[in-house]
Amino acid sequence: MYRFILFDLDGTLTDPKEGICKSVQHALQKAGIEAPEIDKLTPFIGPPLRDSFREFYHMDDAQTEQAVTDYRERFAKVGWKENIPYPGVDRMLAHCRQQGARLAVASSKPQEFVEKILKHFGMYKYFDVIVGSEPDGRRSKKEEIVKETLEQLYGRYGKKMPDAQRREQTAMVGDRKFDIEGARSEGVDGIGVSYGYAEKGELAKAGADAIAGSVEELEELLLGGKKPGNSEPVRIKPVPDNSFLKAVYMLAPFAVWFLLNQVISLLGVSIVDLLKQSKDPRTMAWAEANLQMIQLWARVLINAGTVVALYFFYRNWEPFPWKPKTSLSKSRRTIRSLQIAGLGAFFSLGLNILINQLVMALAPYFVNEEQLAEMMGKAGYDSQTPLVVGTLLFVVASPLMEELIFRWLLYNRISRVFAPVVSVVLTAVFFGFFHGNLLQGGYAFLMGLLLAWLRVGEECVSAPYLFHAAANAVIFWLGFLPKRAQELVGHPYLSLVYLVIGFVFYKILSKSAANICA
């Protein structure tokens, strides 16, 4: 099988005929050219748009740029949605990922539209790298696109492999001669698909190493051919068919970690209790004085150890989407990070205050005063935890551990069985359950929905981690403000203000064209 697989988009993964051809009609009409029926405009599917307008309608540079602008005017509104995935493509991509292949899209279409189309049809999650052309005409040749895609793919997942070995295990899949030419320019196999828009004999003439007549044949070519080297980057186990085994497969990492966490915590408490029962007065006094600090440092170490263990144990069995799919400048990445952190900070403040008030109003009907006081004490801003230890625990270690468990392992496995919306809700339910009592569990469930939404939307773990760390930081650090300042910041009437500010951050984040993560 191939370890690295690049796919063209139009004519390979999706049938874009209606969207592309109607947008070409629109551009030609605006240029005063009589536009033929869309069936006669299919040669526009595949090659760079500018080249097609020049070749087929003999436009000069100015006319070409205007035609491209008019084309994109319609395509940006409706054309990109007039697209149909070929039957079986979703299953084929899932099988490639399950066998450990690293997938990429290398398309002449502008990257913004490539990403929108893949997200719209639920295929975005399968790809490690996505490369398209630039709106200003840069990186429009297929050879340039394939080269950039391979640089990103090899840079992330093939650094330890000799270059010749990497290229031997790489294939570029496309429906036009441009895809095959792009593959040959980089010394990798070019696999053509005849169900796309190539003319008769075009792919063979271009030198395709193999030609698939259907998506099923393509899958067989990709997975039944060459064998990768000794070290698979990720070996994804297929989801069991049996319902009970399926549940075990999904929940096993969470269950094992939860039980171990409880056992280790109980063991730590038992050791402290033994020290407190010592006949040596100095040992008893030391245990009494340092009980809280011992417990806090134990939690820091447990969380840090769990992060290391989870990563090194599961990294070869689960895709770990941490790095960005889209390359961003340092300043752009900083802005994006601030947007996510602001979203976490303000939403957590607003939700925390709002849920506190709801619990204060409703809890007396369900719990007694002593239980209510205990719940509010655990959820309040006041903290006797030292700043440095608390920051390590609540802002760094715990969010990272919880994101690895809930938004990496648990979400990865649940999302292979259920739709994204169901996967988001289920991971949020488990997140709420983990946090225990009514107050913390309700708050964690709502925050879990937002964290899982980020996991889906940003296609990575680092975005929810940044959100989670910012949310924990603002709540924990508020405990070190003077009492009066805490009361002002936590005033009940401000909850809606914080939520509105958080929503503003969300809207800005949603409109941002580039993703921070992969």
Q: Is 280 a catalytic residue?
A: no
> Cα-atom radius of gyration of the chain, to the nearest Å?
27
Cα–Cα dist 282/276, whole Å: 10
What one-character-per-residue DSSP string does 447-511 give? Answer: HHHHHHHHHHHHTSSHHHHHHHHHHHHHHHHHTTS-HHHHHHHT-GGGHHHHHHHHHHHHHHHHH
Which of 410, 390, 427, 176 shows the shortest CA–CA distance to 300?
390
What DSSP character marks residue 130?
E
Where does residue 33 fall: left (phi above 0), alpha (psi -120 to 50 degrees), or beta otherwise?
Answer: beta
Cα–Cα dist 123/121, whole Å: 6
Cα–Cα dist 456/393, whole Å: 26
Q: What angle do CA 262, 265, 269 make, to 5 degrees?
A: 135
Let me know how many helices (H) and strands (E) the chain has, helices first. 22, 8
Report the residue count for the chain: 518
Q: Are strands 102-110 and 4-7 parallel, antiparallel or unpaired?
A: parallel
Q: How far, rounded to the nearest angstrom, does the alpha carbon of residue 263 sit from its chain's CA centroid?
A: 32
Angle between helices 243-276 and 281-314 (to 10 degrees): 160
CA 46, 49, 53, 55 dihedral sign is: negative
Which sequence positions are flagged as catalytic?
8
